[in-house]
Amino acid sequence: MKHVIGLLATLAGLAAATGCDGRAATPAETTGRPAAAPGVVEVPPDSPMLAQLKRDIVKLVDLPTDEVVAPGKIEANPNRVSKVVLPVSGRITSVLVKTGDAVEEDQPLLTIASPDADSAMSAYLSAQATVTQAEAALGKAQADLDRASDLFEHNAVAKKDVLNAESALTQAKAAVQQAHASREQTVRRLSVLGLTASESRQQVVVRSPLAGKVLELTVVPGEYRNDTSASVMTIADLATVWVTSQVPESYIRFVQIRERVEISLVAYPGEVFEGRVSRIADVVDPQTRTVKVQAEMDNRAGRFRPEMYG
């Protein structure tokens, strides 16, 4: 914001010095000289106030504003970072990416030879066989009912024979539904392992959960892993990054969500980048008496890397 300063401040000081009511005593009241025109402040030539006055050109200047300066570093957007874990234990047969590679969503990352894959495929084949048997039984039950109904119309069988056939058909339909549900469970298990029912291979495929870059890789071919909770790879979408700063608690009142911030980085001296505050921590660090503030920056050009300082 621009403001006019200098002249107004001088006149205000002059008014305060010349009278408690904000009105300068006129020469006519003190010396008998004619009064000055309305809106004009006249100072006698022999007034000591002249030594305190300074004449200058009225101009627009920037007023000082509250500014918070804090060191920070670039981090990956935590909402777009994935720690890849193995769905099953087994031996790593191939690693299809390297650190720094760009990957697409659902792209294969590595393969695993696992006993769990054999079990999952066996379970699917068994479930599929059960479906085939249940559907065959359903067809037979339907044919039995049709035949019993026809014979009953010709008074060849009793009514109870028709009722028994109807009951058998109902049970056969329920068995088919159960068989299909069981098969779907095995198909979902295959999907988790990166397998499909039409494939005969027993290699589990681990795929990328998002598009981004491989930031960390901690597994090599031939390695056997049985810890399915440990991360083997970190993938991050760096289209946006966060700049994290620790702001002293005495200045945090000046920082607001969505507020624009200017960011300077050691890697790019002389350049100033723009971001917006995306998160302000709800607690103060008891050791440093600071509050964590994170600003989001556009990084589609790929210039900013995690751990850069500014």
Between CA 52 and CA 50 the distance in angstroms is 5
The answer to whether residue 98 sits within a structural domain is: no
Cα(80)–Cα(66) distance, integer angstroms: 33
Please state the domain count of the chain: 2
| Segment (H or E) for 4 | strand 2-5
> How far apart are alpha carbons 124 and 132 in whole angstroms?
12
Mark whether 195 and 128 lie in a shared domain.
yes
221 in any annotated domain: no
Closest residue by Cα to residue 53 from 122, 6, 117: 6
Answer yes or no: is 145 within a domain.
yes
Given 184, 201, 218, which residue is the final one in a domain? 201
What DSSP character marks residue 254? G
| 55 shares its domain with 123 | no
Could you list the residue range(s) of the whole structural domain that residue 32 is in? Answer: 2-62
Alpha helices by DSSP H, the chain: 7-18, 27-30, 115-153, 159-192
Q: Is residue 147 in some structural domain?
A: yes
Assigned domain for 279 exists: no
Of 170, 201, 232, the last residue of a domain is: 201
What SS3 state is found at 151? helix
Distance CA 111, CA 96 (A): 8
- 115 and 217 Cβ atoms separated by less than 8 Å: no
Output 16-25 pairs: Cβ under 8 A, ≥24 positions apart. Answer: 17/49
- The verdict on residue 168 lying in a domain is yes
Side-chain half-sphere exposure of 138, counting CA atoms within 13 A: 15
* Any domain includes 281: no
| Coil/strand/helix, residue 149 | helix
Note whether residue 27 is domain-resident. yes
Q: How many alpha carbons lie under 13 Å from residue 38 in its C-beta half-sphere?
A: 0
- 195 and 129, same domain (yes or no): yes
Tens-binned pLDDT, residue by residue, of the chain (310 aa):
333 333 333 333 433 444 444 444 444 455 556 666 676 777 787 877 777 777 778 776 554 556 888 999 999 998 999 999 998 899 999 999 999 999 999 999 999 998 888 888 889 999 999 999 999 999 999 999 999 999 989 888 899 999 999 999 999 999 999 999 999 999 998 888 878 887 766 788 899 999 999 999 999 999 999 998 999 999 999 999 999 999 999 999 999 999 999 999 999 999 999 999 999 999 999 999 999 999 999 999 999 999 999 8
Pick the last residue of a domain from 180, 201, 222: 201
